[in-house]
Chain A
Amino acid sequence: METQIREPSHESFRANLPRRHVVSKIWRAVFRVSTVVGIVALILLILNICNRSFGYVAVESPFNLESQSLQGVPLEELPKEELLALLEENVSRGTFRRLDREKPFEQRSQEEVYVLLIAEVGEPKIVKTWTLYESLFQRARVFAQAQEEFPDAELRFRSWINWDFITSQLSSEVEKAGIRTAILGSLWTIAITILVAFPLGVGAAVYLEEYAGDNPINRLIQTNINNLAGVPSIIYGMLGLAIFVRSLAAITSGAAFGANGDTAANGRTILSAGLTLALLVLPLLIINAQESIRAVPNSLRQASYALGATKLQTVLAHVLPNAIPGILTGTILSISRAFGETAPLVVVGAATYITLDPSGPFSRFTTLPIQIYQWTSRPQDEYRHLAGAAILVLLILLLSLNAFAIILRNRYSRRF
C-alpha cells in the first residue's frame, strides 16, 4: 500500500529532476554572465579613458619658418606689410581680429609683428588626433590618413597625460593646457570641507551615540540625517547658491573681513564651494562615525565610569581613541566622494575659465571634475583627449585616497 503511493510520486520526481537541474544550471550561467558584465563595464570604462589619453597626433606648423627664410630674404627682414599678410593667412580670422583689438596693427612695429608671427604661427599645432586603439592596431591607416590630409604634418605619439599637463595652468591652446589651477582649486575646496565637516560630523556622532537619550528630538535628528544622505547633490548646490553665494555674499566674498579677494567673485568663491560640500558630506560622515563609535564595547565605558571618570572624560580618553581609526576611514571615504563631486559646484558657480591659481578661500575657483566636465562638453576631439587625461589624474588621486583609507583600517582597527 505504502509503496504504491510512493512509487508514482517518486517517478514524477525522477522525471522532473533532469529538467530542474538544467534550469538551475542555465540560471547559474545567467547570474555568472551578469557578474562578468559588471566587471566588463569597469574594464571598458578604464580602457575608454586610456584610449583617449594616449595616441598619435599630427603636429603641423602651418607656416614653415625655414622655407620662408629660404626665399632669399630672411624672415626678420621682411617688411611689416608682408609679415602681416602672412599672419592673416595663417591664423583664423577670429584670432586676427582679437590681436588687432589688443593693439591695432598700425601701431605695432615691424619687430613686434615678427615676434607675434613667431608666437602665433611658428609654434607647432595639433591638427588631428587619433585614439590609442587606432594608434596601436590601425597604424597603417593612421599613417595613410595623415599623409593624405596633412602632408606637411609630423606624426608623433603623444601621451596626453604628462608632467607639463599637470603643472601648467589652463590655456585655450590644446598643446599648452594644464590642470594645475584645477588641482589647486580642488585641494583648497577639500581643505575647507574637511575643516568644517570633520569637527561637526564627529561632534554630531558623539552626541547621537553617547549623549542623546531616546526622545523625539533626537529621533528626529537621526531620521533627518538618514534622509539627508539621500538628497541629490544638486539640491545641496541650490542651497549653497541661495545661502552661501547670495545671502552670505559679504562673508563668502571676504568683503566682511576686508580681504581683497577677487571682486568679480561676489560670493562664488572657494569658501562657498567648501561649505556646500561640507553640508553634502556631513550626513555620510556622521553615519560612518556613528558606526565606529558604536563598535567600541560598553565594557570600556563602564570601566571608565567605575574609576570615577565623568562622561566627557570617558568619551575623550576611551571612546574616541578607540573609534578614531574607523572615524578617519569613514572621513576619507566621504572626502573622496566630495572630491569627485561636480554638479553642486557648477550650481554654486565655478568659474568657466580661469588661469589664475587660487590664492585663498576668497578666490574664484575651478576644480578637477569641473575642468573635466567643461572639456568633455566641448565637441572638438582634442578636448576629449584632455578630459581623458584629467580623468586619469582624478582616478589615480581617488584610488590612492581609498587605498590609504583601507590601509588605515587594516592597520589600526581593533577587534574587541
Chain B
Amino acid sequence: MEIQIDRELNSQADVSGAHLKEPLDLRRRARLLETLIESWLFFSGAISILTTMGIVYVLGRESLLFFASKQVSLLEFFTKTQWQPQIGHFGILPLLNATLLTTFFAMLIAIPLGMSVAIYLSEYASMRTRNLIKPILEILAGVPTVVYGYFALTFMTPLLRTIFGDNIVQIYNTASAGIVMGILILPLITSMSEDALSAVPRSLREAAYAMGATRLEVGIKIVVPAALSGIAAAVIVGISRAVGETMIVALAAGAGPNFTFNPFEAAETMTGHIVRISGGDISYATIDYNSLFAIALVLFFMTLSLNLISQRIVRHFREVYE
C-alpha cells in the first residue's frame, strides 16, 4: 500500500516534471550562452596576463640572445662606461647615468612644486580656485609628451643658454630635458598627493586649529604626516614615470651615449637610445637589435620595482581613519 502511494507520488512527480519541461529547457540554453559569454569575458581579463607574459618573454628572449653573444659579458654590461656597438663596447652605464640625471632634474622640479601645489589646493585654496586650477593641471597632464619635447628644445634650451651662456650649455642637454620633464610630472604628483591630503579627516585639522595651530602648522605638522604614505607613493610613481619617459629626452637630451655628470652636456638616455636606433632601419637578429631589448629589460625592471614599491607603501603604511 505504502509502496503504491509512493509510486503514485512518483508518477505525479513525473507528470509535474513533464509539465515543467519547457521552462527547464529554456534555462539550460540560457546557461550555455552565459558560459560562452563568460569565457569571452574571462579571456578579456586574461589578455592582461598574456600581455605581461609577452613582455617578459620578448624582452627576456632577445636579451638572452644578446648576452649569449661572444661580444658581451654580463659584468661589462653593468660596469663599462662606454656604449659603442660599432666597436663592441656594451656598457649600459652612460645610458643609465643620463636617465638618472634627467630623472633627478625632473624630481628637483616636480617634488617641491607638486607638493606645494597639492598643499595649497587641499589646505588653502577656496572651492572656486580649486575648480579653476584642477582643470588646468588636467590639461597639462593631457598634453602629449612630444609637445613637451618641442617645448624643451625650442624654449627651455634657449632660455638656459641665455642664462648660462652659449659656450657652457650645449644645444642638446640633460638639464633642459629634465626640467621640462618635471613640468610634465608635476600634475601627476600634484593630483596623487592632493588625493592623499584630502583623505585626511577634517577632525584632525579641527583638533589642531582648536589647539591654536596656524594654517601652516596644521598643514605641515598634521596633514602631511598623516598622508605621508600617499605622498611617498606619488613621488615614486613620478620617478617611475620619469625613468620611462621617452619623447622629451629623445628630442632635447641629445643623441649619442655620453658618460657625463655635467647637466649642460648632451647625453643619451636608455629610452632615447631605443627610440633613435629603432627609428632607423634596423635589421633583425643583429646584436644592435638584441641590445635594445637588453636595455628595455633593465628599464622594465626599474619601473616595475618602483611601481611595486609604491603599491606596497600605500598598502602597508596607510593610516586608516574612521
- A interface with B by C-beta (< 8 Å): 13, 20-21, 23-24, 27-28, 30-35, 37-39, 41-42, 44-45, 48-49, 52, 199-204, 206-208, 211-212, 218, 220-221, 224-228, 230-239, 241-243, 246, 279, 282-283, 286, 310-313, 336-337, 339-343, 346-347, 349, 352, 369, 372-373, 376-377, 384, 387-388, 391, 394-395, 398-399, 402
Can you identify 11 A-B contacts, CB atoms within 8 angstroms? Answer: A24-B216, A41-B183, A42-B140, A232-B303, A234-B246, A241-B278, A242-B293, A311-B34, A343-B247, A373-B251, A376-B153
CB-based contact A346/B55 at 8 Å: no
Within 8 A of A (CB), among B131-174: 133, 136-137, 139-140, 142-151, 153-155
A261 vs B205: C-alpha distance when bound (angstroms):
65
Q: Which residues of B contact A201 (CB under 8 A)?
A: 44
**When the two chains form their complex, are residues A346 and B45 in contact, meaning their CB atoms are under 8 A apart?**
no
What residues on B are CB-neighbors of A340 within 8 Å? 142-147
When the two chains form their complex, are residues A212 and B45 in contact, meaning their CB atoms are under 8 A apart? yes
Q: Does B95 have its Cβ within 8 Å of any Cβ on chain A?
A: no
Closest-by-CB residue of B relative to A206 is B41
- Could you tell me the dominant secondary structure of chain A's interface residues? helix
- When the two chains form their complex, are residues B117 and A31 in contact, meaning their CB atoms are under 8 A apart? yes
Q: Does B321 contact A (CB under 8 A)?
A: no
CA distance A23 to B117 in the complex (A): 18
- B296 interfacial contact with A, CB 8 Å: yes
Closest A residue to B41 using CB positions: A207
Say whether B62 faces chain A, with CB atoms less than 8 Å apart: yes
Chain B 250-298 residues near chain A, CB threshold 8 A: 250-251, 271, 274-275, 278-279, 284, 292-293, 296
Contact indicator B292/A208 (Cβ below 8 Å): no
> Contacts A24-B216, A343-B275, A376-B149: A238 and B121 contacting too (C-beta < 8 A)?
no
Binds A, one of B5-13, B74-82, B236-244: B236-244
Q: Which residue of B lies closest to A218 (CB)?
A: B45
CB <8 Å contact, B46 and A31: no
Number of residues in B with C-beta < 8 Å to the partner? 87
List chain A residues, Cβ under 8 A from B153: 376
CB distance A342 to B145 under 8 Å? yes
- For residue B108, CB closer than 8 A to chain A, the reply is no
Q: Which of B42-89 contact A (CB under 8 A)?
A: 42-49, 51-52, 54-55, 58-59, 62
Q: Give, as a whole number of angstroms, the nearest-CB distance from A396 to chain B.
A: 12
